[in-house]
Structure 1
């Protein structure tokens, strides 16, 4: 037996279509009940409960109880990043499904990826922050379709010298020492390049929503910008 992480076990958990649909439904960062996840997966409640037990045992989900209700969520941003990366690989090299209509188009422009912004707007924002030196990307970014052995991770991201003052002016504190990374590259499945994750990515999404530049579309991960909100976002993050 080889030493090291058991990749096959995790892959088998994610590889079941019903479980994959459940995990994808939780990518919006909202905890869901077993009944809600059964609907997302297209299975009966007893079957969903069996799948959820396996995902819990595998460490991919967390469970919180509130009154009589039990809510499932992703175990953390590392799990969300894995799902996003797998989705990107499937989009790049896997068989294509028939795409739904306008909602899917909105998802490609801007959406929630667990707790941060993803999609075209998010990738453009990271590119601009790096170009301005506010964020630094240590290595050349790796794009889906150009992945070679030993190059699975995109280039690491860190704060630039002006980052603290720049984000402080926006009401975002990057000086704290959180338990998770401040900056992390997350491979975007729709653009096939990196967007910004970590506590900074989450804080930027909170800023966008609190300023009402954009809103979460109901029953979707899509983030829809208003015309004035899009202008404000571009002025602050793409200027």
Structure 2
């Protein structure tokens, strides 16, 4: 069992606006450079480096160097789930953001986004609901893929069976969505679905933040595969 001092140390890591901003940006699952994060947070490179050192030392981030650049990303899905869970405990954001750009980004994130390596927002919840409605996902006691669900992933969706056995992660896991206040599908299945939709061009990332949008081809594919009406995402 963790000692109280360890929990307090973890809280201190996230108890800084700049470090919290870094962690939330890294929820897109990608590796960022220290310079990119410094620009995002509006701090100097030396300040960013100091904060990143603390996050890496505390086990929330991992880093690698490539040439002159230092890249950092979340240490794994457990960190992402921790962050999403904490954000879900906050009160909903104000309905009138400070700027038009902020409003557009917030709306895009609410429609669809990546939560580390799986889909969240209205898109993630809609896909989760569609899987459950078709008997592919059992949500009666946590999340569990049914045998039909595994067949769907490795059949119509085209995911390799080996990819569903290549990790010690749970195949299906519920992740509380901080904008929808409901659970979306995480775990290995959630990650594979997200990867597949990105690889096929059925969804694409928007700009540099973690919002995603469904392409026309993706709208048709999800209607065919899951009888999913995406007008609800607007």
User: Could you tell me the TM-score, scaled by structure 2's length?
Assistant: 0.86
1:123 deviates by: 0.5
1:224 match: 213
Alpha-carbon distance between aligned partners in 2 of 1:84 and 1:124, rounded to the nearest angstrom: 18
1:150 match: none
2:196 match: 207
1:4 deviates by: 6.5
2:70 match: 70
8 Å CA contact 1:91, 1:189 repeated in 2: no
1:98 deviates by: 2.4
The alignment yields a C-alpha RMSD, in angstroms, of: 2.2
2:152 to 166, 169, 175: 166
Query: 1:181-211: per-residue Cα shift (whole Å, max 9, x none)?
Result: 2111111111111111111111111111122
Structure in which a larger fraction of residues adopt helix: 2
Count of residues paired in the alignment = 221
Change (3 A) 1:95 1:213: closer
2:82 match: 82
**Which ranges in structure 2 are unaligned for 5 or more consecutive residues?**
229-234
Alpha-carbon distance between aligned partners in 2 of 1:234 and 1:11, rounded to the nearest angstrom: 43
Change (3 A) 1:97 1:74: farther
Change (3 A) 1:60 1:175: closer
1:119 match: 121
8 Å CA contact 2:97, 2:103 repeated in 1: no
Segment of structure 1 superposing worse, 22-31 or 171-180: 171-180
Alpha-carbon distance between aligned partners in 1 of 2:5 and 2:181, rounded to the nearest angstrom: 26
Alpha-carbon distance between aligned partners in 2 of 1:30 and 1:39, rounded to the nearest angstrom: 16
Map 1:132-143; keep pairs closer than 5 Å: 132-139=134-141
Change (3 A) 1:189 1:79: same
Runs of at least 4 residues off by over 6 Å: 94-97
Alpha-carbon distance between aligned partners in 1 of 2:105 and 2:223, rounded to the nearest angstrom: 22
1:131 deviates by: 2.6
1:52 deviates by: 0.8
User: Could you tell me the TM-score, scaled by structure 1's length?
Assistant: 0.84
Change (3 A) 1:209 1:227: same
1:234 match: 223
1:6 match: 6
1:68 deviates by: 2.2
**Which ranges in structure 1 are unaligned for 5 or more consecutive residues?**
140-155
8 Å CA contact 2:65, 2:71 repeated in 1: yes
Alpha-carbon distance between aligned partners in 1 of 2:120 and 2:199, rounded to the nearest angstrom: 17
SS in 1 for 2:32: coil
SS in 2 for 1:90: coil
